[in-house]
Amino acid sequence: MMIYLWLILLALVIFAVFKRFYTPKYLTTLTQEDFIKGYRKAQLIDVREPREYEGGHILGSRNIPMSQMRQRMNEVRVDQPVYLYCQSGARSRQAAQFLKKKRGVQEIYHLQGGFKKWTGKIKKK
């Protein structure tokens, strides 16, 4: 009986690690260097909450918080690439999944490590 519990626990840990580091096929993770090369020709969206955005954001980005994505998804054009970022990468992955499934966006990229790893130009409100 104890062996089964350990196997279940091991399976849950493996699943959690896989889920954390797996990048879906519809989402491309970019280094800061590659992100900078492409985001000027695309829609740059910060999916953090407004308070986080006002504390500092990538120059040229607009704020569509993940918590408002359902209501504001029509603001995202499907005919242009979408570059997403959040604080660490978790919310931008969620936003990418949502935009792919509900809005049909085909070209989605997100910043590896999120805003906390960003060393480029920022703007504060």
pLDDT at 32: 96
The model's pLDDT over 63-78, given as tens digits with 9 standing for 90+, comes to: 999 999 999 999 999 9
pLDDT at 39: 93
Whole-structure pTM over 0.85, yes or no?
A: no
The model's pLDDT over 8-65, given as tens digits with 9 standing for 90+, comes to: 888 788 777 766 665 567 799 999 999 999 999 999 999 999 999 999 999 999 999 9
Catalytic residue among 27, 69, 82, 86: 86
Instruction: State yes or no: pLDDT of 104 exceeds 80.
Output: yes
Report domain 24-123's class: alpha beta
Gap between the Cα atoms of 101 and 109, Å rounded: 15
Instruction: State yes or no: pLDDT of 7 exceeds 70.
Output: yes
Q: State residue 46 phi and psi, 5-degree precision.
A: -95, 120
pLDDT at 19: 63
Has 86 been annotated as catalytic? yes
* % of the chain surpassing 70 pLDDT: 94
pLDDT at 124: 87
Give, rounded to a whole angstrom, the gap between the first and last alpha carbons of the chain. 58
Please provide the DSSP assignment of the chain as one string: -HHHHHHHHHHHHHHHHHHHH---TTEEEE-HHHHHHHHTTSEEEE-S-HHHHHT-EETT-EE--GGGHHHHGGGS-SSS-EEEE-SSSHHHHHHHHHIIIII----EEEETT-GGG--S-EE--
